[in-house]
Amino acid sequence: MDQYLINMKKRYFLAIIFLFGSCSSWKNILIAEGNYNTAVQNAVHDFLNTSIHSKEGNVFSVDVESVNNDIIRITILNDQDKLVPTPENRKGTNKPYFPTNYIEQEEKLFYWYDSTAVISDELIWILSRYNHIDSINVNEIVEIRGVFDDSKKAVEYYFCKNNLLKYKKNVTRIGRGNYEPPKIKCKP
């Protein structure tokens, strides 16, 4: 009986070491300094490695917003609704609320609006590859719109702008901005 308990303790100890080793390896990828796109990259890494909601689909919309001078909010939501092109936007343009950037990782697509990027052939191609765009006009007219289901759970990340390694996350069904964000001490 004593040998059995010793073996169980060893296995338990090894499982804990493996768990912490696994966590630290993906956390080493996170970047401390950067812009909104760096915060999105960090959120995507955390989401894929810690959230059960990452298993809910393969296409996710990402919303990026400055909460105040210290905090960036990144919201990741499973988005199964196809984006629908209309004549209002063209490749090469940048309009708020239409995705212009993306990350593809672990066979999952994350897309968001980036004020420094434009709608590109590459973006249209990746949306088509994931069967996430309804159609593309042959005259290169593309608008990207989505329908958002407020009943779906989203994962919200709150990053300190001065150190993107300091963050908190929240799983919610409440629309963004309808509650107080978590407190984070961002000042050095």
Span 122-169, pLDDT tens digits: 998 999 899 988 765 535 555 455 455 666 789 999 999 999 999 999
Cα 66 to chain centroid distance, Å, stands at: 15
Residue 112 confidence (pLDDT): 94
* 164 in any annotated domain: yes
Residue 103 has pLDDT above 90, yes or no: yes
Question: What mean pLDDT is predicted for residues 24-45?
Answer: 90
CB atoms within 10 A of CB 54: 19
* 14 in any annotated domain: no
**With bands split at pLDDT 50, 70 and 90, how would you rate the model's confidence at 187?**
confident
Question: What mean pLDDT is predicted for residues 4-25?
Answer: 52
Please count the structural domains in the chain: 1
Compute the mean pLDDT over every residue in the chain, rounded to the nearest whole number: 80
Crossing angle of helices 36-50 and 2-27, in 10° steps, is 160
Residue 38 has pLDDT above 70, yes or no: yes
* 16 in any annotated domain: no
Residue 18 confidence (pLDDT): 45
Residue 9 has pLDDT above 80, yes or no: no
Residue 17 confidence (pLDDT): 47
* 11 in any annotated domain: no
Are the beta carbons of 145 and 61 closer than 8 angstroms?
Answer: no
* 13 in any annotated domain: no
Question: What mean pLDDT is predicted for residues 59-82?
Answer: 92
Cα 112 to chain centroid distance, Å, stands at: 9
Instruction: Give the tokens for residue 116.
Output: 């420094």
* 109 in any annotated domain: yes
Instruction: Report the range of poorest mean pLDDT among 33-42, 75-84, 124-133.
Output: 75-84
Domain that holds residue 107: 31-172
* 105 in any annotated domain: yes
Instruction: Give the tokens for residue 32.
Output: 């401390």
